[in-house]
Amino acid sequence: MSERILVTGGAGYIGSNIAAALLKRPATDVVVVDDFSSGDWRNLIHVDCEVRAADCDDPLLLEEIADGAFSAIFHQAAITDTTVMDQRLMVEVNTNAFAGILAASSLSGTRVTYASSAGTYGNSPAPNRIGHGEEPENIYGFSKLAMDRVACRWYDRHPAPIIGLRYFNVFGPGETHKNERDGNKTASMILQLYEQVKAGKQVRLFKYGEQKRDFVYIRDVVSANLAALDAPRSGVCNVGSGEARSFNDIVSNLSDLLGRQIDVEYFDNPFTFYQEHTEADLSDSKMLLNWKPAWTLEKGMQDYISLLENGHRGPAEIA
């Protein structure tokens, strides 16, 4: 039996990677819906799917969902720029629209996998565990926590599993459009530093580069989403590498991969709030998804930098 799967935000970074991976599955058709406010058509050039320009809570789309037009939904559409401070806009686009999708999918019994965020933890001490330290520091993180809470209220009433994936610091192919749309401010630190080095610019880090993040490669993020198709029940889980690495580690790896010495200028951090350490506890991911990451920072960076050096843009699966 053929599958018809909906990917909202499918022209974006993670959405386009999911769409490309889904099309590798036998007898699978993919419908991408994107408002193209932050996604990029070039991510879909080699992704043979149906593409629609629309909001993810478009009434006609919700009607299709309610009528059972899709066998599964991957909801990736969102405002992902954490510098957006318009509270009403953030909640309307991220939380309210998601609530509409859940209401529609409950009528058809369609499985929903959605993008949550490590931003729900704010600056809580690591390791970051589901149900602990959920203290977001900005409206973006709050909108994602609100999504998790909306989903939880549907668990007992929704005929199919609802799976939330809290992405940590994702990097990899498909994000290059971010440095054109927003001056690179939402691109991964790995892409930002790579672009600086290639442009001959001075690499600058907050003192003294020992801030730690859980960097997770896009191929692992995609595999977690695909694993969610077989999750036996609803729930939220972290998607990360399970290991915190410093910004200095990134510079060191870049230096090795590019074969050049990279000098770093360290400067004072001007922000009163800044995450010093994120690290995903993957206990729930293993139990709910039977999933664990396969890519280390070194292995992921080697794959990514090789693709960038060869001029690749777009999802990893079309490399």
Closest CA to 218 of 120, 119, 297, 116: 297
299 is catalytic: no
- Pairing state between β 111-117 and 245-246: unpaired
178 is catalytic: yes
Which member of 13, 114, 167, 178 is catalytic? Answer: 178
Which member of 13, 114, 140, 194 is catalytic? Answer: 140
Q: Is the CB of residue 210 less than 8 Å from the CB of residue 275?
A: no
Cα–Cα dist 11/36, whole Å = 7
- Pairing state between β 212-213 and 245-246: antiparallel
The radius of gyration of the chain's CA atoms, rounded to the nearest angstrom, is 19
Point out the residues that are catalytic: 140, 178
